[in-house]
Amino acid sequence: MSVRATIMGLSLLMGLASPALAKDDLVIGVSQFAPSLNPNIDPTVIKSYVLDFAIRPMTAFDKDWKLSCLLCTTLPTIENGGAKFETTKDGKQGLAVTFTLKPDLKWSDGVPVTTKDLLFTWKLGSDPKSGFSNNNPWDRAKSIDVIDEHTAVLHLDRVIVAYNQWDQLLPEHLEAKAAEGKEAGDYLKATLYNRAPATAGLYNGPYMVTGYDSGAQIVLEPNPYWSGTKPSFKRVVIKTIENTAALQANLESGDIDLAPGDAPALTIDQVIALQQKAPDKFAYIYKPSLTYEHIDLKIENPFLQDVRVRRALLMAIDRDTLVSKLFAGKQPVAATWVNPLDANFAAGVPAVKYDPAGAKKLLAEAGWKPGADGICRNDKGDRLAFEIATTAGNKLRELVEAVLQSQWKASCVDIAIKNEPARTLFGETTKKRTFTGMVMYGWSSAVGESPRKTQFSDQIPTAANNYGGANYIGLNDPKMDGLIIQAEQELDPAKQKAIWAEMQGIYAEQVRVLPLFFRAEPYVVPKWLKGFTPTGHGDYSPLWAENWRAE
Amino acid sequence: MRRFILRRLGQTLLVLLVMSFVIYGLIGLMPGDPLDVMIASNPGASPEVVARLRVIYGLDQPLMLRYAHWLLAALQGDLGFSRTHSQPVLVVLAPALWTTCKLMLISFVVSVILALGLGIVSALRPGGWLDSLISLAAFAGISVPVFWLALMMILVFAVELHWLPASGRETVGDGSLLDVVRHLIMPVATLALANTGGFTRFVRASMIETLRMDHIRTARAKGNGEGRVVLIHALRNAMIPVLTVMALSFGTLFSGALLTETMFAQPGMGKMIYDAILSNDFNLALVGLLFATLITLLSNLAADLAYAWLDPRIKL
């Protein structure tokens, strides 16, 4: 082969670079793959993100954190008569919630979405053998009355705030066969969403899954039977690149268009650095989210039993500077677990201000005086020292930890860092509450979700409850328990707000947790993408993907 | 020969059986249970749901009983169900295996060809400038971290020059042979460069030793040309120790290209096994590791057979 021919061959191979698909394709880069696609089983963040393009829940919170109907015509509420109080057979107060499905809804094979699907999903979801683990369990409804093809009444045996929050329906005409199995787990193995996720008819959103390349990418194309706003892209490709440095390089090379903040993708420090490097190349969005980073304190630790010590620990850390220096001020400081964007946020509960002198004074009141080495000691000569654990290898958490360690040291508190891999930290240390002082991690809740999992007494993980629950602080306060129950049942928004304010007050007063900041979701968005709106909560931006367009 | 092969295949089965027991036991020793991973990514799962799932996945049973159930089913051809993928293990394994085969076979062949060429050239003039240059390049190849090399390739050839796609197996909607080849160039080059250095050093050392042997002097004395002496008489003998190293590397390549697969978004066996172990997906991790073991054992068997072919004095 001549040199000329070789050069021509190489040019053909190398020169025809096609980093950018045409603008009618949108390539999204994420760092995790959704290994299965059944919406009701193991709904991880990445799975929900992918499915939000293709299958709509009955209801979802919108960008303003207001509950809205996606499959129904009107959101049923007490006020509009869509939900009514009723008395159950055993004399308790329950609710009858009427849903009317949008009449022009169709599955992606043209079959209409009807109450048959609602009934099927409810029956399957109420069967413990099905393995459903969705956020809004179907077994909250004890019976369903089907009025016609589009209207049904769900009967709940108790009053709950989330009475009008329901998840995705499943297509009865396709999934009924998979649900025929009698053994526990049979449905899990037979569902088409896992066995053949590109089957036409499994989706009812603006896009449908047409390609599923395990571990690599998922391809979505417009659902021809979607009756809403016509999706603008001919193809949406969700590509998995697990190494975030490589993911960033792909973004810069144009191989991917969008790095979402509501799915696992680039870290906030990467996005801040990229913005500094290429401020005009992309649009950068930092959306405060419901995930709050915090430090749980082990209340059984004798030094931490004194609330003055716990409060002093909070006063000794400068969270404003930490957030400003490490995250360019993009992540708001948290006063409690409730985000200021949440309707139940209590503005009257102030965030504790950085006050190292006040912290030392409080420690002195509690009997802790600085020793010769600068670390506080009590009358018995004990050093005021704690261990802190977080997920080893999480660069940002380790950085935060190091800053906090130095700030506490300045206030005469000695902190030893003892980090563990995530699976050990969450599989043993928090689960069995074996940490001795502090443990730092993030926690996500849904909009308006009560703090039952983290603060109700029966959620303290013990051998008796098979280490279920996430009340790692070991909070066992009948008053808090009572408030949580009320918060889950009170339908009057004003009373609800008062209950939440009281819960936040207890949280702030007892200082069993050191709240740090709310994570911001960092998005890198192509400048030509319009109609894209992050939400900051668990109903992700693709739920409104039909509005995304290239301009 | 036939008896030897049958005996080795029997030993292979025995090793696989022992390995399956050891691997299953070791994964079981890891902290936490498989559902912890699920709970961590889905805090919405209530303790009741978790307890139900534990029964559905059989995690309420003792580890050894679970292993016994798996073994019994495996002997009947059912390798189990992947908990994380919610699919039979073989269905999950097949695409990963195909990706790995493509990547590994091509990069292995490329690195062997390069190593043979460079190792022989190096051995012919040990200490010469060409030998020094090749040795320097080989050491660089051995020393450079794979993830760094991969990232640099992406930055140069995808971000700066826009010559090659930065990641993936093919362009959606294209998938032509040329497109697949373009996607393979960087991962193959990364793996080949990482392996070539080591192989080159082995070929060089073995060739230098062989070229000093009596039979080589005899071959030259008989008037054979230098090319024939080097490529026929010396290389054949020099390949015996080199083959052992290559056979062992081949097995490792099947499960150990995690970084390359991750950096170039080419999910293969290495990534699959790593994820399965981290998420406590017992069946998938077990079958993946057993497969890597099988490849190592078979490649060693192939190496043994090659010894006999290279040197008829070796009796199997």
Residue A204 lies in a domain: no
Residue B71 lies in a domain: yes
Residues B101, B43 share a domain = no
How far apart are alpha carbons A386 and A40 in whole angstroms?
41
Start-end of H helices in A95-243: 115-126, 172-175, 186-190, 192-195
Q: Indicate the range of A138-152, A205-219, A234-248, B232-246 predicted with least confidence.
A: B232-246
- CATH code for the domain of A185: 3.90.76.10
Residues B184, B159 share a domain = yes
Q: Report pLDDT digits (tens) over A389-431.
A: 999 989 899 999 999 999 999 999 999 999 998 878 888 899 8
Q: Report pLDDT digits (tens) over B76-100.
A: 989 988 988 888 999 999 989 888 8
Mean pLDDT for chain B? 86
How far apart are alpha carbons B63 and B66 in whole angstroms?
5
Residue A209 lies in a domain: no
Q: What percent of chain A has pLDDT over 70?
A: 96
**pLDDT of B255:** 63
Residues B263, B245 share a domain = yes
Note whether A470 contacts B178, CB cutoff 8 Å. no
Mean pLDDT value across residues A364-384: 95
Domain boundary among B88, B109, B135: B88
Mean pLDDT value across residues A532-548: 96
Residue A84 has pLDDT above 50, yes or no: yes
The kind and range of the H/E element at A207 are strand A207-213
Compute CA A446 distance to the chain's CA centroid, rounded to the nearest angstrom. 7
**pLDDT of A12:** 52
| Chain A hits for B40, Cβ within 8 Å | 422, 426
Q: What percent of chain A has pLDDT over 90?
A: 81
**pLDDT of B155:** 93
Q: Which of A348, A353, A354, A352 is nearest to A503 (CA)?
A: A348
Q: Report pLDDT digits (tens) over A291-340.
A: 999 999 999 999 999 999 999 999 999 999 999 999 999 999 999 999 99
The kind and range of the H/E element at B153 are helix B146-153
Structure tokens at A425: 């930290």
Q: Which residue has the higher pLDDT, A11 or A529?
A: A529
Residues B57, B156 share a domain = no
Partner-chain residue, chosen from A184, A189, A428, that has the shortest CB–CB distance to B31: A428
Residue A23 lies in a domain: no
Domain boundary among B88, B103, B138: B88
Mean pLDDT value across residues A138-142: 93
Start-end of H helices in B30-128: 34-41, 47-56, 63-75, 89-124
Mean pLDDT for chain A? 92
Residue B17 lies in a domain: yes
Domain residues for B161?
Answer: 90-310
Residue B315 lies in a domain: no
Q: Report pLDDT digits (tens) over A25-58.
A: 999 999 999 988 999 888 889 999 999 999 999 9
Residue B316 lies in a domain: no
| Chain B hits for A132, Cβ within 8 Å | 49
Residues A507, A391 share a domain = yes
Q: Any chain B CB within 8 A of the CB of A537?
A: no
Structure tokens at A280: 């005009």
Residues A295, A442 share a domain = yes
**pLDDT of A1:** 45
Contacts 24+ apart (CB under 8 A), B170-174: B171/A18, B171/A21, B172/A21, B172/A25, B172/A211, B172/A217, B172/A219, B172/A235, B172/A237, B173/A21, B173/A25, B173/A235, B174/A18
Residues B95, B231 share a domain = yes
Residue A211 lies in a domain: no
pLDDT category, A463, cuts 50, 70, 90? confident
Q: Report pLDDT digits (tens) over B107-149.
A: 999 999 999 999 999 999 898 999 999 999 999 999 999 889 9
Residue A501 lies in a domain: yes
Residues B226, B128 share a domain = yes
Residue A11 lies in a domain: no
Residues B209, B292 share a domain = yes
Mean pLDDT value across residues B13-30: 88
Domain boundary among A165, A190, A215: A190
Q: Which residue has the higher pLDDT, A380 or A1?
A: A380
Q: Report pLDDT digits (tens) over A464-493.
A: 877 878 899 999 999 999 999 999 999 999
Note whether B42 contacts A44, CB cutoff 8 Å. yes
Structure tokens at B38: 């699920």
Nearest CA in chain B to A136: B44
Residue A283 has pLDDT above 90, yes or no: yes
Residue A214 has pLDDT above 60, yes or no: yes
**pLDDT of A407:** 96
Kindly give, in sequence order, each residue whose CB lies less than 8 Å from that of residue A401, ignoring residues fewer than 6 positions away. Answer: A388, A390, A417, A419, A440
Residues A304, A175 share a domain = no
Per DSSP, the three-state class of A340 is coil
Note whether A426 contacts B36, CB cutoff 8 Å. yes
Residues B109, B62 share a domain = no
Tally the domains of chain B.
Answer: 2
Q: Indicate the range of A127-141, A321-335, A480-494, B24-38 predicted with least confidence.
A: B24-38
Residue A356 has pLDDT above 70, yes or no: yes
**pLDDT of B30:** 78
Residue A122 lies in a domain: yes
Domain boundary among B26, B55, B88: B88
Q: Any chain B CB within 8 A of the CB of A161?
A: no
pLDDT category, B279, cuts 50, 70, 90? confident
In B204-233, the residues whose Cβ lies within 8 Å of chain A are none
Residues B209, B154 share a domain = yes
Domain residues for A138?
Answer: 55-190
Residue A13 has pLDDT above 60, yes or no: no
Q: What percent of chain B has pLDDT over 70?
A: 93
| Chain A hits for B96, Cβ within 8 Å | 214-215
Residue A272 lies in a domain: no
**What's the pTM value of the predicted model, to 2 decimals?**
0.87
Count CA atoms closer than 13 A to B248's CA, side-chain side.
6
Q: Report pLDDT digits (tens) over B285-305.
A: 999 999 888 888 888 888 888
Q: Report pLDDT digits (tens) over B63-78.
A: 889 899 999 999 998 9
Count CA atoms closer than 13 A to A413's CA, side-chain side.
31
**pLDDT of B315:** 64
**pLDDT of A539:** 95
Q: Which residue has the higher pLDDT, A184 or A447?
A: A447
Which residue has tokens 């059944």?
A38
Q: Alpha-carbon torsion A300, A303, A308, A310, what sign?
A: negative
Domain boundary among A147, A162, A190: A190
Residue A275 has pLDDT above 60, yes or no: yes
Residues B65, B99 share a domain = no
Mean pLDDT value across residues A234-258: 94
**pLDDT of B61:** 86
Q: Any chain B CB within 8 A of the CB of A23?
A: no
pLDDT category, B43, cuts 50, 70, 90? low
Nearest CA in chain A to B167: A250
Instruction: State the best of B55, B56, B100 to mutate against chain A, taking most chain A CBs within 10 Å.
Output: B56
How far apart are alpha carbons B256 and B79 in whole angstroms?
22
Structure tokens at A376: 């506080």
Tally the domains of chain A.
Answer: 2
Residues B214, B119 share a domain = yes
- CATH code for the domain of A460: 3.10.105.10
Integer distance in angstroms from the first to the last C-alpha of chain A?
Answer: 47
> Nearest CA of chain B to the CA of A136: how many Å?
9
- CATH code for the domain of B129: 1.10.3720.10
Residue A3 has pLDDT above 70, yes or no: no
Residue A113 has pLDDT above 90, yes or no: yes
Residues B273, B219 share a domain = yes
